[in-house]
Amino acid sequence: MGGLLGQLAGAATSGCEIVTEVRSSRVVDPSGAAPTDIYKLMVGAIVPRPIAFVSTQAEDGILNLAPFSYFTACSANPPCILFSTTSRGANARPKDTLKNIRATGEFVVNIVSEEFAVQMNITSADCPPSVSEFEISGLTPIPSERVRPPRVAESHIQMECRLREIVTVSDSPMGGFVVIGEIVLFHLDPAVLVDPDDPFKIDPDRLRAIGRMGGPTYCRTVDRFDLQRPAWPL
């Protein structure tokens, strides 16, 4: 065994020494920094981030659509996802997405592909609750099967979700609320599957999902590399 795996195996059998000389680093104590600066630091460091394009429906029927890049999967059994919305403050109007999910317990997560990135970005505007982001973006709502909020027709993967839990991390300005939803139905465009008869393997070159970086920057998913997980012992 040679190369890096050999070095790792040797370190595992001989014991590792703690390195005492390391390169200098700039230290940031978040307790002494403004939340807006900490936000900039976090979104610049935690990259790339997938985008949950969340569609909801208000109790009065108004359709809402908004992107969230604090987003990931958190369970496969049952299948669950989570995303986080930023708090405007304890006494401020909550984001429409959060308000609607609290009221109805339902939402849809639509995966964002490169071809409708511009329309997705339009929905990030802070619109009044009476305005539907479907209308201002030109994106197309189509009926869901098990929840009331519609799906985004332009999205190649849509996940109908029911609310499991909302965790209040902080209701202070720039705090957050974590929304955990259980996926009750997947919708997959056969065009993005490796094999149209196998719905469990997505072709990333066909999906062309995008991710979020810091500031106004996004990234593509067309430049990738593979690493097989090693078996122990190495």
pLDDT per position as a tens digit, 28-67: 999 999 999 999 999 999 999 999 999 999 999 999 999 9
According to DSSP, the residues that pair with 176 across neighbouring strands are 86, 170
Lowest-confidence pick of 90-99, 137-146, 150-159: 90-99
Query: How many other C-beta atoms lie within 10 A of the C-beta of residue 176?
Result: 17
Please, which pLDDT band fits residue 18 given cuts at 50, 70 and 90? Answer: confident
Cβ(186)–Cβ(159) under 8 Å? yes
> 152-188: per-residue pLDDT in tens?
999 999 999 999 999 999 999 999 999 999 999 999 9
CATH pick for 34-220 out of 2.30.110.10, 3.40.50.300, 2.40.30.60, 3.30.2130.30: 2.30.110.10
Query: How many other C-beta atoms lie within 10 A of the C-beta of residue 56?
Result: 25
**pTM for the model:** 0.90
Pick from 121, 149, 195: which is nearest to 55 by CA?
149
Lowest-confidence pick of 13-17, 54-58, 74-78, 168-172: 13-17
**pLDDT at residue 51, as a whole number:** 98
How many angstroms separate the CA atoms of 68 and 52, rounded? 5
**pLDDT at residue 23, as a whole number:** 84
Residue 65 tokens, joined: 């659509």
How many angstroms separate the CA atoms of 66 and 61, rounded? 16
Mean pLDDT of the chain: 93
How many angstroms separate the CA atoms of 177 and 52, rounded? 15
Please, which pLDDT band fits residue 92 given cuts at 50, 70 and 90? Answer: confident
Cβ(147)–Cβ(184) under 8 Å? yes
Residue 30 tokens, joined: 């978040």
How many angstroms separate the CA atoms of 105 and 103, rounded? 6
**pLDDT at residue 1, as a whole number:** 47
